[in-house]
Amino acid sequence: MAHRFLLVDVFTEHAFSGNQLAVFCDVDGISPQQMQTFARELNFSETVFVLPPEDEANTARLRIFTPEAEVPFAGHPVIGSAFALEEHRPELRNDEDLRFEVEVGLIQVRRYRADNGRLLQAVMNQKRPTFLSETAGADEVAGALGIAASEILITGLPCQVVSTGLPFHIVPIGSLEAMGNLQPNPARMQRLGEKLGVSDICAFSFETMAADATVHARMFAPSYGIPEDPATGSAAGCIGSYVVRHRAVPRVSLTRLVVEQGVEMGRPARLHVEVHSEDDRICSVLVGGSAVIVGEGQLYGNAPS
């Protein structure tokens, strides 16, 4: 039995960059165990399976798997699915918005097109941020990342767990050079995660490679079988919320950021973040970007169920 998937590069306008994603667009009846087997076989940071929605008012239900586990939400599978469904379900091109059911709730995706109708960008809403544990000291975090604690302390910002649907330990880094020198230690990350409840780290710096980028980011998620991720939409929303919360950017009602990521992996990506706030309250978080369909394939046979 053959199961067709589309291969999509997400958070990029260029093929063979950004974050790779396999989208299985028609998988009703495949068990979660089979989905996990397919995700492990393809070994991308995430693989997404598109199912009929539980509520007919919505577009589809998405189930998202890393090579190791199912996750309740992830950014690039949502954006990539919006582009993949352009190919798989042409009738959806008349809808301005898509509504995806994921484990954390309903994600609305707005699509923006060129004058000729070509899809240029998809933007998703994320959950309002939750700010969780702050790390008491920088030494243990720095040790987990293989850098000196001074590279964190120089920023004057705390290390903190933030979630806009999926939690990440947000770690500010003082320089682009230090970002390039990160050497994560999975064992130390795991021990740190046992204290904080989250072992996945998203590090960022305000020093960037592109002049028009706001932050440079790297994300490490060994708990999900992802040594490093080239573009992480769920973490980008957390970064945007974090810098607004801690006044690391000018306080305005609409904060826009461009996150560059994946450079160290040879898969450069760009993620666009908007944080809407009133006084000290963050009202909404939007994350968007482009994607490119670069191929398609089939998996043969029935995975163990």
Q: Mind telling me the catalytic residues?
A: 46
How many Cβ atoms are within 10 Å of 293's Cβ, its own excluded?
16
Residue 76 burial (C-beta neighbours within 10 Å; 0-12, 13-18, 19+) = buried
Tally DSSP H helices, then E strands, for the chain.
Answer: 7, 18
- Bridge-based pairing state of the strands 119-126 and 281-289: antiparallel
Residue whose token pair is 């482009």: 290
CA distances to 130, 152, 217, 219, 243 from 133, rounded to whole Å, are 10, 17, 20, 18, 16
Angle between helices 186-196 and 138-145 (to 10 degrees): 150
Structure tokens at 58: 């919505």
Angle between helices 233-245 and 75-88 (to 10 degrees): 130
Tell me how far apart the alpha carbons of residues 175 and 123 are, in angstroms, rounded to a whole number: 29
Kindly state the helix (H) or strand (E) to which residue 178 belongs, with its residue range. helix 176-180
Tell me how far apart the alpha carbons of residues 22 and 165 are, in angstroms, rounded to a whole number: 21
